[in-house]
């Protein structure tokens, strides 16, 4: 009897120490598929062609997950890679948002021999002002989107859907090179990895 009571007390203490709910990434992807081949051609709605090809995979461009979450005063976007981000790679995280027409994008351009830059866009071309520099911690890149920067883009109660992530080798910001028809700078020539998610995020 005492053993059962003791177990119940310990179990209750453990449950109190854990968060009541655990968030989950809205997007996850196969490890080891950042090879510049799997996703060169993709039609939305088609089967995801990801297959692991290690060691022929560039870990710094290998997407593992992306998560949108509420923060104090805004939204955080966390991209987790198989290795820390590297020079010469552009990291583009996208999700459909009502006020962006097609998609809201955050970018981290780790240019060679230059400080990394953080950008945020509607539809890949319309800049969103007021977004602070992304923070890198190990293999994670974290953007913070203040609510003030999202005015007219995403309001409380809006549902952001259909997330996808791309990592591209070769970085030239659109200001330095004319964008191609898909909105990317022409110098972003190799798609290392693409990942598509089915999760959604409700703006608090």
Tens digit of pLDDT for each residue in 91-132? 999 999 999 988 999 999 887 767 888 999 998 789 999 999
137: its two tokens: 């911690």
Tens digit of pLDDT for each residue in 5-37? 333 433 443 333 333 334 678 999 989 989 877
172: its two tokens: 């030239």
Q: Decide if 83 contacts 60 (C-beta within 8 A).
A: yes
> Which single residue is written with the structure tokens 């053993």?
3
Q: What is the pTM of this model?
A: 0.79
CA distance 85 to 104: 21
Q: Where are the domains of the chain?
A: 23-202
The single-letter DSSP state of residue 149 is G
118: its two tokens: 């953080």
**What's the pLDDT score for residue 20?**
33
**What's the pLDDT score for residue 17?**
36
CA distance 63 to 165: 8
Share of residues in the chain with pLDDT > 70 (%): 73
């Amino acid at each position: 009897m005492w053993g059962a009571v003791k177990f119940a007390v310990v179990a209750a203490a453990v449950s109190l120490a854990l968060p009541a709910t655990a968030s989950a990434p809205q997007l996850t992807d196969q490890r080891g598929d950042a090879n510049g081949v799997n996703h060169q051609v993709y039609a939305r709605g088609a089967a995801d062609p990801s297959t692991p090809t290690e060691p022929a995979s560039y870990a710094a461009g290998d997407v593992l997950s992306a998560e949108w979450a509420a923060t104090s005063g805004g939204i955080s976007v966390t991209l987790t890679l198989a290795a820390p981000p590297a020079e010469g790679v552009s990291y583009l995280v996208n999700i459909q948002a009502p006020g962006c027409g097609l998609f809201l994008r955050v970018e981290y351009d780790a240019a060679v021999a230059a400080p990394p830059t953080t950008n945020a866009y509607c539809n890949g071309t319309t800049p969103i002002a007021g977004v602070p520099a992304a923070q890198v911690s190990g293999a994670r890149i974290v953007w913070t989107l203040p609510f003030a920067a999202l005015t007219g883009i995403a309001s409380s109660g809006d549902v952001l859907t259909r997330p996808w992530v791309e990592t591209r080798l070769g970085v030239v910001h659109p200001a330095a090179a004319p964008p191609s028809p898909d909105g990317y700078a022409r110098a972003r020539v190799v798609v290392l990895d693409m990942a598509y998610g089915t999760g959604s995020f409700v703006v608090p």
